[in-house]
Amino acid sequence: MTRALLFLLCCLAIVPAHARLSGLGGNLPHAGSQRDLAEIRKSGELRVLVNQSRNSSAEIKGQAIGLEYQRLRAFGQYLNRNARDGRDLRLKIIPKPKDQLVAALQKGEGDLVAPGELLDAHPGLGISASAAIRSDVPLVVVGNRRNRHYKHLQDMSGRSLTLPVGSAVSDALREVNQQLAQHKRPPIVVEWADSSLAVEDVLEMVQAGIYPWTAVELPIAERWQKVMPGLRIERQLVVGEKGDMSWVVRRVSPMLRASVDRFLAGYRAPSDQDSAFQRVYRRSYKVRNPIVTRTDRQRLERVRSVLQKHGEKQDLDWLQLAAVAYKESTLNPAARGASGATGLMQITPAAARSVGVGNIQALDNNVLAATRYMARIRREFFSSRQIAEAERMAFVLAAYNMGPQRVQGLRAEARRRGLNPNRWFFQVERVAMEQMGMGVVSYVNAVNKYYLAYDRERFLLEPQKQKLSSND
């Protein structure tokens, strides 16, 4: 046994370090999946792995809003102009979370990665970065205009940065925190955002004051500041070293890499590329902090007991119901909306009657009808075990906003396109954006952010539970 163990350790010692990297080096592609440009042209399809964020790859009613979508469309046209056989090449867009892009490329799930953000393309991982799309890109701290102003990054010792999953900032902070530790100062803490939030969502929550700070690539911060004027970019607070924003291919695809580099060398972004971005998104990113004012806290406390009562009966988190109520009526039980929508939850008389509730002007009946209706939607349309709980609630919210049958139609289209029909965020919502615009997508996103804001303060918002736990 001892000899066998020693032999195994010796074998591991001679394996290159990059091949031992967790989750990456062990996923190098099989020979059958190694495609270069000739094989890609024969297949008629270039598979592009894109960062699922709306900043990178959104398309809204036929308009390419994401920066990478615009470049990718131009790249597809470039490849087709230079096709010797005259056959057009189709782009297949495959959205993935940023932290899964490299592994998916290694496994052969795509031919090209277009991340739209800084991405570690270490050659030891069997991948190769293209020529730089943007060179010397800094990662900068971003806050809102009400935040304290810091002159030096070290002055943020003990503060926290909220980062989207896959952010390059976490690795860059290590050196800063090592320097702080040497001076016996607390580190800058990383708080990872919920997986339902992309970089633009975190920026919106920073603008609202739900999160205090984040850090992103400077070009991304500058772009989103155009539609979120409450953001303040701290250009003097640079995290780590500057990097290049690039596309990434596998090292076994040198011809594809050469074509990418030739294309990028001559590509010039349209001068009006952000006009549609600003027009569409300026109306969409309007989330507020739902508990920052005394009035909001008082309104929530007045309806807390009724939300808790009916939420418990229908197995719905009362703070999720509070988030819906904040979006629908800003917690106003007397609110009146379109199409007869009434009260705190803006439930319609027809929806209330469908679950056996009348007189929805009364607060208790209003919440009773809404919770019964949500529970019915969940039970009849989204009860599959293949749907994660957070995604299940997102589908319920979409159905509450636009009707369950329409949501089911979006799921069917997502399945047809090869997207995951059991995930709303970044999957089914893509179909909704393309077909319907930002309406229902903005609704679900806003409620989700209000819920996350409430959930951060759950201990303070549930005084009864706090008192019970202290008496145990």
Comparing CA positions, the residue from 216, 210, 115 lying closest to residue 163 is: 216
Comparing CA positions, the residue from 113, 118, 156 lying closest to residue 138 is: 118
Q: Give kind and range of the element (H or E) at residue 245.
A: strand 231-245
* Predicted pLDDT of residue 33: 58
* Predicted pLDDT of residue 84: 83
Burial of 5 (0-12, 13-18, 19+ CB in 10 A): exposed
Q: What are phi and psi of 414, to 5 degrees?
A: -60, -45
* Predicted pLDDT of residue 387: 97
pLDDT(466) > 80:
no
Could you tell me what percent of the chain has a pLDDT over 90?
77
Average pLDDT on 441-454 reads 97
pLDDT(463) > 80:
no
- Residue-wise pLDDT tens digits, 314-363: 999 999 999 999 999 999 999 998 888 999 999 999 999 999 999 999 99
Comparing CA positions, the residue from 454, 337, 316 lying closest to residue 397 is: 316
Average pLDDT of the chain is 89
pLDDT(472) > 90:
no
CA distance 384 to 361: 34
Determine the straight-line distance between the first and last CA of the chain, rounded to whole angstroms.
51
- Residue-wise pLDDT tens digits, 15-40: 333 332 233 333 444 444 579 999 99
Amino acid at residue number 21: L
Length of the chain: 472
Question: What pTM, to 2 d.p., does this model score?
Answer: 0.88
Greater model confidence, 366 or 27: 366
Identify the weakest region by mean pLDDT among 183-192, 229-238, 244-253, 457-466.
457-466
Comparing CA positions, the residue from 447, 450, 455, 457 lying closest to residue 424 is: 447
